[in-house]
Amino acid sequence: MSSYIDVAHPDRHAPYLDIPDTVVDYLHYLDFVRQSSPRTINGYYLDLRGFFRYMMTVWDLADEQTPPDRIDLTQIDLEQIRKIKKSDIINYLDYARSHDNGPRARARKLSALRGYFGYLCNQVNQLQEDPTANLSTGTPKKSLPKYLTESECLRLLNNIQSDFYERDYCMITLFLNCGMRLAELVTMNLGDFRDNTIRITGKGNKERLVYLNQACLDALGHYLPARSALPNLKDREALFVSKRTGNRLTARRVQQIVERCLQNAGLSGRGYSPHKLRHTAATLLYQNGVDMLALKEILGHENVSTTQIYTHINQRQLQEAVEASPLSRQKYHPPRPQQDDLQQDTGEDDGQGGAQGAEQGGQ
């Protein structure tokens, strides 16, 4: 299995049936003791599973040509894990890089390994030496988030073509105005709305209230009657449902819908995605004067330092700041002539030339 999360119930997961027992114990520790979010645990599960699939080939217990999902990891015991060295971790990170894992992905994988081996060393005392100690992939290069301009947002909203127009228009509108995550949108229920607010369940099952502006209320006002009129509506709690099946939309289906809407608007191939629509909402709010602390609450960031990335992409404010200089209106003027240039222009020469001229004149 590639993921254990049930999209309709993000706090639930299936049994861990394809990983070593010590990894299962660690994920349960993250769940019950550390109270990590289900998506965080899922990410660690996937990264640790990938690492042990790699180690099975290193130990010659699986052929490199064997499909990854055919490699049995359940037989890996603690004695084998104790043989893992720092060089194995380094080689695995190099292997990950050769398989198109960028700096951020490798840093995330190392973080999962650090947590797991730290747990074995410090929490359950099953390991004496941590092979990840003092290992670092370096600081991943921070890139500015991509976002749509205001005119591109209008073009996107004005070019939605769909067999369920009301639903897709509503989803795009909520993305662009509320800055919600993809996982937050697909798990929203009708009961999350009250008056002009929506209760969003974000990372770590933390809830926040986001106010809906008139554009969102109008979009919902058109979508909800169309949703209720579906003849095969099955999931009566889910906000966004499939027209064909009547069940809650999956995250992948929403991604496909957004991709199609971007293509219809002539905005495909630019790296835009549902998450980029979240960046767009945050950027436009900040550019139009929303306070950083207020933006932090709207986006559901735990720390304002995460929100501060949007201070680096407010090009309009940067332009206004530069234009605020008292010298910004200084006009260009040509260079002033040098002294030598003045002499040449007036026919003057140095002392020796003048004497020669006087002597020639006397002759």
Q: Which residue of the set 49, 106, 248, 278 is catalytic? A: 278
Alpha helices for the chain (secondary structure H): 21-32, 38-58, 78-82, 86-98, 103-118, 150-157, 165-178, 182-186, 214-228, 251-264, 274-287, 292-299, 304-307, 315-323, 339-346, 351-362
Q: Which residue of the set 114, 208, 260, 275 is catalytic? A: 275
Q: Which residue of the set 86, 97, 203, 208 is catalytic? A: 203
Q: Is 290 exposed, middle or buried (0-12, 13-18, 19+ CB in 10 A)?
A: middle
C-alpha dist (Å) from residue 64 to 47, 134, 312: 18, 30, 45
Number of other CB atoms surrounding residue 335 within 10 Å: 6
Which run of H or of E encompasses 194? Answer: strand 193-194
- At 33, phi and psi to the nearest 5? -95, -55
> Comparing C-alpha atoms, which of 287, 292, 258 is closest to residue 273?
258
In whole angstroms, what is the distance from residue 13 CA to residue 27 CA? Answer: 11
Cβ–Cβ < 8 Å for 227, 236: no
Q: Which residue of the set 181, 276, 279, 296 is catalytic? A: 181
Q: Which residue of the set 44, 92, 169, 310 is catalytic? A: 310
In whole angstroms, what is the distance from residue 274 CA to residue 145 CA? Answer: 12
C-alpha dist (Å) from residue 243 to 195, 217, 220, 246, 249: 26, 21, 16, 6, 9
What residues have CB less than 8 Å from 97, skipping those under 6 apart? 106
Asked if 181 is an active-site residue, the reply is yes
Distance of CA 53 to the CA centre of its chain: 27
Burial 201-235 (b: 16+ CB within 10 A, else e): bbbeeeebebebeeebeebbeebbeebeebeebeb
Longest Cα–Cα distance in the chain: 119
Type of residue found at 229: A
In whole angstroms, what is the distance from residue 361 CA to residue 363 CA? Answer: 5
Asked if 203 is an active-site residue, the reply is yes
Catalytic residues: 181, 203, 275, 278, 301, 310
